[in-house]
Homo-oligomer: A and B are copies of this chain.
Amino acid sequence: MSKEITSREQDYSQWYIDLVLKAGLADYSAVKGCMVIKPYGFALWENMRDVLDKKFKDTGHQNAYFPLFIPKSFLSKEAAHIEGFAKECAVVTHYRLKNDPNGGGVIVDPEAKLEEELIVRPTSETIIWHTYKSWIKSYRDLPLLINQWANVVRWEMRTRLFLRTTEFLWQEGHTAHATEQEAIFETEQMLNVYADFAENFMAMPVIKGVKTANERFAGAVETYCIEALMQDGKALQAGTSHFLGQNFAKAFEVTFLNKENKQESVWATSWGVSTRLIGALIMAHSDDDGLVLPPKLAPIQVVIVPIFKTAEQLNAIFEKIKPLVDELKAKNIRVKFDDGDHKSPGWKFAEYEMKGVPVRIAIGARDLENGTAEVARRDTKEKMSLQMLGLAEKLEHLLSQIQENIFNKALQFRDENIVHVDSYDEFKKALNAKGGFIAAHWDGTSETEEKIKQETKATIRCIPLNNKQEEGKCIYSGKPSVQRVLFAVAY
C-alpha cells in the first residue's frame, strides 16, 4: 500500500477525510472552513460542471454573472430569507488597508468604512431579483431562464471538506415566469435534470421528493430535493429546486404587463447543486482502498502502466501501446500512459486504485510476446488477460459495464436500507442499527418533526413524489397520518 487509509469500519469520518486528502482531491487552507480544490478534484468538478451546463443549455437556460456582493438591505427584504441566512454571512465593512501610524504593520483604514455593509453572497436571489426588476416589463420578456456558476460563502462553524465548507462552488439557476403553473413546471423539470445527472452520471440513485416546512429553503413556497444514501447509512441532500411563488417578485417589486394588459407579480424558481456533490460521489461508491469513480465523470478513465526495467523495454511497450492510446482518444476516452520511472508498478497500482481510475491496464514483457494486456477493474478488482487486438472496443464496453455496475450496487444498498417502521421504538432501533431511510407515519406538524430531531438527530429528508397514500398513525404523536415520509440522519 502506498498510503494508509483508515477503514470505513474503523472510523468512517476519518476514512472520508483520508480519501479526499490522499487521492489529491482537496486540501485544507489557511482560511478557516475554506478548502483548496486540487487539480484532480477540480478536474472531477469540471466534468460534472460540463455535463450539467449542457443539460441547462439544452433546457433553454443561459449563463450570466451577478455581483459577489449584496447590499445588506437587500438581504433583509424577504423576511424568511434573511432569517435563514443572517447567522452565516461574511460581511465586508471596509475597502482599504493602510500602514499603522503606530508601526503595527498593515491595518484596516478606519476612514474607508462603507456606508452600507456588503454581504458576500450566500445565494443570489436578492441581487438577481433586484436586477430582474429592470429587465422584466412585459409577458414578452418571460420566461427569463438564467443560470450562474459562482462561488458563495456561508459561514459554517463545523466544516468538512466538500460536504460543508464556508466557501463553495455551485451553480444557481434563477428563473422568472408569467404563471404559477410554468414556474412549477420549471421547478420540477430542474429536479428531474438533477436526478438524471445523479443517477446516470454519478451512478448514485436518488429519491425525489419535497421538503417539509422545517427543511424548506428560506423564502421558498416549496422545496423539491433529491436525496441519496451514503454507505454509513446517512442521507445526503444532493440538489434542491425551489418554487419561490411570488415572494421575491413582491419583495423586489418585479411586475409585468400580462397578455390581458394587467400588472402582475412575476413567478420565480431557483435551483442549485454544489461541490458538495463531490463528497456525495466519494461516499456513495468508494472502498477501503480508495476512490471508486463512475467512468462518465472520472478525470482518467483508463490508465496504462508499463512494466519495464530498461529503456528499450519501455520503448517496445510504448510502440505496442501507442495505437491503443490513439484509438481510445479517438473514442473520447480519457487515457493516461504513465511511463514515469521514479515509482514502481506496484506503487502506481496502489496510487491509481486510490484515485479511483475505473480501468487499469498493465503491460510487460510477457504480454508483448503474447499480444495481451492485463486489464483490472477498479470496482470489482477483477483482473483479466485480454488480447490487444480489438482492445479499445472492449474497454469502451467495459467502461459502460462499470458505470452500470456501480449504479446497481449503490441502488441495491439503498433499497436494502429503506426500512418501514410503525412505532417510535422500532424507529429508534432502526436508526441505531444501521441508519438508512426510515419510512414512517408522521402527523404533519413541525412540532413533531422538531421533537424527533431533538431526540434522535433524524430529520424528514423528504416526502417522496407520487408517494403512496395509506392511512396510519404518527409514530410519535399517534395522531392520524395519510402517508409515510422518509426520515434519516443526514449530512
Q: CA A95 – CA B140 in complex, angstroms?
A: 41
Q: Which residues of A contact B (CB under 8 A)?
A: 27, 29-31, 34-39, 41-43, 45-46, 62-76, 82, 86-99, 105-106, 108, 117-120, 127, 130-131, 134-135, 140, 146, 150-151, 153, 155, 167, 169, 342
Q: How many copies, total?
A: 2
Give every chain B residue within 8 A of A119 (Cβ-Cβ): 97
Contact A86 B96 (CB under 8 A): yes
Sampled A-B contacts (27; CB under 8 Å): A29-B67, A30-B74, A30-B127, A31-B69, A34-B67, A35-B67, A36-B64, A36-B65, A39-B63, A41-B64, A42-B62, A42-B64, A67-B167, A68-B151, A75-B97, A87-B98, A88-B96, A89-B95, A89-B96, A89-B97, A90-B94, A90-B95, A90-B118, A91-B93, A91-B94, A91-B95, A93-B108
Contact A43 B62 (CB under 8 A): yes
Q: CA A63 – CA B45 in complex, angstroms?
A: 10
Give every chain B residue within 8 A of A150 (Cβ-Cβ): 151
Q: CA A108 – CA B74 in complex, angstroms?
A: 14
Q: CA A197 – CA B119 in complex, angstroms?
A: 36
| Shortest Cβ gap from A201 to chain B (Å) | 20
CB nearest to A29 among chain B residues: B67
Contact B106 A71 (CB under 8 A): no
CB nearest to A157 among chain B residues: B95
Contact B93 A106 (CB under 8 A): no
Which one, B65, B71, B92, contacts A120 given CB within 8 A? B92
| The 7 A-B residue pairs with the shortest CB-CB distance in the complex, in nearest-first order | A39-B62, A34-B67, A37-B65, A86-B97, A95-B155, A91-B94, A93-B93
CB nearest to A127 among chain B residues: B30
| Shortest Cβ gap from A172 to chain B (Å) | 14
Contact B95 A342 (CB under 8 A): no
